[in-house]
Structure 1
Amino acid sequence: MLQSNPPFLQHYGALLRHPTEFPALECDEPKNGVGMEECQLPLIDLNDLNCENKRERVACCRAIRRASSEWGFFQVVNHGISPELIQRMRREQVKLFQTPFESKTTCGLLNNSYRWGTPTATSPKQFSWSEAFHIPLSQISEGTCYGEYNSLREVTKEFAAAMSKLARLLAGVLAENLGNQKSVFEDICDESTCFLRLNRYPTCPISPEIFGLVPHTDSDFLTILCQDQVGGLQLMKDSQWVAAKPNKDALVVNIGDLFQAWSNNLYKSVEHRVMANRTTERYSIAYFLCPSYDSLIASCTEPSIYRKFTFGEYRSQVQEDVKTTGYKVGLPRFLL
């Protein structure tokens, strides 16, 4: 039977044997957080946004603002995406990742977006034990992207549309909390730059200290994560790594770098990571709300902490830093 897993062990072993001149990404020890207590992320009921009681709607908006400022993460329930749709999407996702590795790398599935590990890794600390399809929304309707996976196309289109609607709702609330018009995201965020990422974290036989996804912040406005119940997501809170307890009824939302800059550091784009699991594989789907590449990102209040920059400029700087240093620098590059 053909192997569906990428050659993680070979790549990881090569990094152990051949250190390079690039600096390693420094991480806190112990990396895996063994014995780490799981925390419940702030939980927000989005039904309150449609409540006739104005006081309850205001309270919900304030809860989103507070969680975005204090945690950079929160969970939402009654988010409008049905459990049935999530289950259908998960079934198709599992089927897709069970494809033999050679097929995933050569057949051009989903706009040839398949990725595994960390191609830029120069040390084990920079290596991610995971694989993913990184799909631009502009390509989701293209039938040629799906090959023989016809059933994947329809559910992906439906799921992406639902996540996009939810992302714009939340972005609108966050913008209103800053005194901005919520319609601004309709003008600058479109399918050309927003994307869906299907993730799989295979079991890792080496050690529970291996990263499924290395510590990072997201280079977008906000991310919505639909995950299974395996766990492994951790975030930085009060200078300590904490494990986020999965909630089967909730989606996880986190603030990205662009909202931190836009809000002049009121909202926090928090470093987070995923730890590998020795016995159980993990699946998740992330939706990333991004602006067009020529959109100008500017702080909503003065004095501004960051200089103005376009999303395209930001992406280019991140890619250059990863290429030359092995890790993302991010917003500190744009401080005034």
Structure 2
Amino acid sequence: MILTSSGVEVEHDRKRELKAFDDSKSGVKGLVDAGITKIPPMFIHPQYNLNAKSGSAVSQFRVPLVDLDGINDSATLRAKIIDQVREACENWGFFQAVNHGIPASVLEEMIDGIRGFHEQDTQVKKEYFYKRDFKEKVSYFSNFDLCQATVATWKDCLSWAMAPSPPDPTELPAVCRDIVMEYSKQVKRLGCTLFELLSEALGLDVNRLKDMECAEMIFPAGHYYPPCPEPELTLGARRHTDSRFLTVLLQDQVGGLQVLHQNQWIDASPMPGALVINVGDSLQVITNDRFKSIEHRVLVNRVSPRVSVASAFGTNLFPSSKLYSPIKESLVTQENPPKYKEATLQAHVAYLRGKRV
């Protein structure tokens, strides 16, 4: 039995339910297509606090906005933008970037492509893509941690790895193949620019973070959050932090992303043409907690599907045997000693997540 947020007990054979769901290879979208009016127990969050969903709309806080226009036009303007990036990463761990260099047409086509993949016939998706072997270059699945998490989330995903080499285009779904390759190329370019700005914001050489392989790998994922008949009982993405160095998020105009700031859930409200940038656990470690990896989550709704594309930047391999510790130049002093010992990134991430439980 599980206890829902409304105090109702529900019979729950989790193991059998998980197997039936995964064997269907239809994802959450398949449940919606089947016309369900009640969500399966495996998606119900027993401790979910309904009151925590409200409040952000009237908050005085707003996720910082950084306009990247003109970063290479003058030293004065670049310094101003770097200051804004520094402040956002130190105080929020998040910011929205506009005038980032990726054309609006590419952003729109990418959203349409990911939506097109998830909304095509289930038989097409599951026969060629549905799998749980994440060593594959391209995967379609629902809940990457379906068998490990205590509760599932209301989300399906198409993921593709761009390193150590991009996938063969024929490995990608035909409905979004061309735009996936183009968008991934442009996000990779933007990521390199962002790591330059972050390096300068830390008082380091412009190439310092890139030299540490922070931008070596890009691992994008196209998420689809179907309309939910009982959105008050579940989440599209549970409260979490990102493990890698940096994430660039493209979201449609539906909304649902929230950032935890000063113990309040703040809406990262969609802005036309904007990309959401957030610090990951790995960047928090090597900056000695100067830049913060902040918890965030995604709400779902009854009416509209939500589409987003998260592109995580990191090293070529994860897990990896390479050791990392806080950068000594300007970030470690006698007054501010290192907060982390030398360890692998996966060990650092596990440590941070253990502290947040």
TM-score normalised by structure 1 residue count: 0.81
Distance of aligned partners of 1:259 and 1:16 in 2 relative to their CA distance in 1, 3 Å threshold: closer
Alignment of 1:309 onto 2:343: yes
Alignment of 1:178 onto 2:202: yes
Question: Which amino acid letter does the alignment assign opposite residue 247 of structure 1?
Answer: M
Distance of aligned partners of 1:58 and 1:192 in 2 relative to their CA distance in 1, 3 Å threshold: closer
Q: In the alignment, what sits opposite 1:67?
A: 88
Question: Which amino acid letter does the alignment assign opposite residue 45 of structure 1?
Answer: D
Unaligned runs of 5+ in 1: 18-23, 319-328
Q: In the alignment, what sits opposite 2:284?
A: 260
Q: Any residues of structure 2 matched to 1:144-163 within 5 Å, and which?
A: 144-146=170-172, 149=174, 152-163=176-187
Deviations 1:155-201 (A, max 9, x none): 21111111111112111211222233332444443887420110111
Deviations 1:192-228 (A, max 9, x none): 7420110111000013342011110000111111111
Contact 1:173 / 1:182 at 8 angstroms: preserved in 2?
yes
Alignment of 1:49 onto 2:75: no
Q: In the alignment, what sits opposite 1:120?
A: 147
Q: Number of aligned pairs?
A: 310
Give the alignment partner of residue 143 of structure 1, picking from 169, 188, 200: 169
Contact 1:291 / 1:311 at 8 angstroms: preserved in 2?
no
Q: In the alignment, what sits opposite 2:53?
A: 32
Distance of aligned partners of 1:289 and 1:204 in 2 relative to their CA distance in 1, 3 Å threshold: same
Q: In the alignment, what sits opposite 2:157?
A: 132
Q: In the alignment, what sits opposite 2:106?
A: 85
Contact 1:294 / 1:312 at 8 angstroms: preserved in 2?
no
Distance of aligned partners of 1:50 and 1:60 in 2 relative to their CA distance in 1, 3 Å threshold: same
Give the alignment partner of residue 326 of structure 2, picking from 280, 289, 299: 299
Deviations 1:48-71 (A, max 9, x none): 42222x222111101100011111
Q: Distance in 1 between matches of 2:305 and 2:250?
A: 15
Q: Distance in 2 between matches of 1:294 and 1:114?
A: 28
Report the secondary structure of 1:30's partner residue.
helix
Alignment of 1:245 onto 2:269: yes
Q: Distance in 1 between matches of 2:149 and 2:283?
A: 30
Q: Distance in 2 between matches of 1:237 and 1:15?
A: 29
Report the secondary structure of 1:283's partner residue.
strand
Contact 2:129 / 2:138 at 8 angstroms: preserved in 1?
yes
Q: Distance in 2 between matches of 1:171 and 1:294?
A: 23
Distance of aligned partners of 1:153 and 1:256 in 2 relative to their CA distance in 1, 3 Å threshold: same
Q: In the alignment, what sits opposite 1:20?
A: none
Question: Which amino acid letter does the alignment assign opposite residue 204 of structure 2?
Answer: N
Q: Distance in 2 between matches of 1:193 and 1:289?
A: 6
Contact 1:295 / 1:310 at 8 angstroms: preserved in 2?
yes
Deviations 1:216-246 (A, max 9, x none): 0000111111111111010100011111221
Unaligned runs of 5+ in 2: 1-24, 131-135
Q: Distance in 1 between matches of 2:228 and 2:290?
A: 38
TM-score normalised by structure 2 residue count: 0.77
Distance of aligned partners of 1:29 and 1:305 in 2 relative to their CA distance in 1, 3 Å threshold: farther
Deviations 1:278-315 (A, max 9, x none): 11111111111112334432112331111222235457
Question: Which amino acid letter does the alignment assign opposite residue 213 of structure 2?
Answer: C
Contact 2:242 / 2:281 at 8 angstroms: preserved in 1?
yes
Report the secondary structure of 2:304's partner residue.
coil
Contact 1:198 / 1:285 at 8 angstroms: preserved in 2?
yes
Q: What's the offset of the Cα at 1:43?
A: 1.0
Q: Distance in 2 between matches of 1:312 and 1:70?
A: 24
Identity %: 27
Deviations 1:121-180 (A, max 9, x none): 654xx3210111121113644133125x0x622221111111111112111211222233
Report the secondary structure of 2:232's partner residue.
coil
Alignment of 1:107 onto 2:128: yes
